[in-house]
């Protein structure tokens, strides 16, 4: 198999683009897609400070790698969830990556800061681990980005993530969530930081290939808590559709974005208020984060 762009030995077949690429051309393609995402979705400008949420997996490390290559001013933010060996490995790989590039890394440990890891938090509050983890991540991503004066928070969500989330939201017609499925969420309120997903144009397998070609050492295993999740089932379903008709995921998600353009989402923000405990933006009187912490305090 030869690269359709330059004739070198190809490393990746890309059926959705009806092509195959070598390592160099894959890098060009991946970087081009990120540049286009940043520009098309008005994610950030030169001179802006970007906080990259890094889990230690292929997507977030690839995102950080590309933004550094493109010479954006970045720092990484890693949340230590305290889920045994998985979290330990994730932490180590993230630190090693940051050190190898001399990049600034902010580490936030749930055990140290909130007093309990994800599993304990879930137990104390009768939430699923993924729900407790989601609250902790969203809250700390936003608060740390805001307090440290970053202009934007970037996450490594890719096309597969966004397409499967969209499928899940449509299957249950969760219209509130649909409004939030844009690759750029502006900071509509005080203390709310803009969120962006610069990898939304790239398929998971393209990112994996990029990570391998560029020798990025990432945690291969998925979070042990995600086994059997709806998200993974939706991904499998979409993979079957994609195998049958390459380009399905892209058509599905990009088509949604096209239709969402110009939609009036301002009513979504009217529900947001300041948490009466911590002052962070929330849709409830007391935010989910503060409600979880209350239970941790009561238990200790
Ligand atoms: Zn090539
Ligand atoms: Zn709060």
pLDDT score, position 177: 83
CB 18 within 8 A of CB 250: no
Judged against a pLDDT cut of 80, whether residue 219 lies above it is answered with yes
The pair of structure tokens assigned to 64 is 């950080």
Residue 217 Cα to ligand 1 middle (Å) = 23
Helix (H) or strand (E) holding 289: helix 288-299
Judged against a pLDDT cut of 80, whether residue 125 lies above it is answered with yes
Residue 162 Cα to ligand 2 middle (Å) = 28
Mean pLDDT to the nearest integer, 236-258? 96
Residue 226 Cα to ligand 2 middle (Å) = 26
CATH domain 30-219 topology: Rossmann fold (3.40.50)
Does the reported pTM lie above 0.85? yes
Task: Answer positive or negative: Cα dihedral of 196, 209, 55, 243.
Answer: positive
Residue 5 Cα to ligand 1 middle (Å) = 5
Mean pLDDT to the nearest integer, 97-111? 97
- The HSE-up count of residue 277 (CA atoms within 13 Å, CB side) is 12
Residue 28 Cα to ligand 1 middle (Å) = 9
Sorted by sequence, the CB contacts under 8 Å of residue 150 that are 6+ apart come out as 49, 50, 51, 75, 193
Residue spans per domain, the chain: 30-219
Alpha-helix runs per DSSP H in 203-287 = 204-213, 230-244, 248-260, 266-270
Sorted by sequence, the CB contacts under 8 Å of residue 237 that are 6+ apart come out as 164, 167
Residue 112 Cα to ligand 2 middle (Å) = 18
């Amino acid at each position: 198999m030869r690269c359709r762009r330059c004739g070198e030995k190809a490393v990746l077949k890309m059926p959705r683009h009806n092509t195959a690429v070598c390592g160099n051309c894959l890098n060009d393609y991946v970087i081009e897609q990120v540049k286009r995402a940043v520009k098309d979705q008005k994610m950030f400008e030169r001179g802006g400070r970007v906080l990259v949420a890094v889990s230690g997996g292929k997507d977030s490390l690839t995102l950080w790698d590309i933004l550094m290559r493109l010479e954006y001013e970045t720092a990484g933010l890693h949340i230590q969830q305290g889920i045994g060996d998985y979290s330990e490995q994730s932490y180590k790989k993230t630190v090693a990556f940051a050190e190898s590039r001399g990049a600034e890394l902010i580490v936030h440990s749930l055990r140290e800061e909130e007093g309990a890891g994800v599993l304990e938090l879930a137990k104390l509050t009768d939430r699923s681990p993924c729900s407790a983890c989601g609250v902790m991540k969203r809250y700390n991503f936003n608060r740390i980005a805001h307090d440290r004066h970053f202009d934007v928070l970037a996450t490594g969500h890719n096309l597969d993530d966004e397409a499967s989330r969209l499928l899940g939201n449509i299957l249950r017609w969760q219209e509130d969530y649909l409004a939030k499925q844009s690759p750029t969420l502006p900071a509509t309120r005080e203390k709310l930081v803009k969120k962006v997903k610069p990898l939304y144009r790239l398929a998971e397998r393209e990112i994996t290939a990029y990570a391998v070609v560029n020798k990025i050492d990432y945690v291969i295993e998925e979070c042990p808590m995600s086994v059997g999740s709806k998200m993974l089932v939706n991904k499998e379903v979409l993979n079957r559709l994609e195998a049958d008709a390459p380009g399905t995921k892209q058509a599905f998600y990009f088509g949604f974005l096209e239709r969402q353009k110009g939609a009036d989402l301002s009513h979504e923000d009217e529900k947001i208020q300041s948490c009466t405990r911590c002052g962070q933006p929330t849709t409830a009187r007391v935010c989910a984060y503060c409600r979880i912490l209350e239970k941790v305090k009561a238990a200790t």
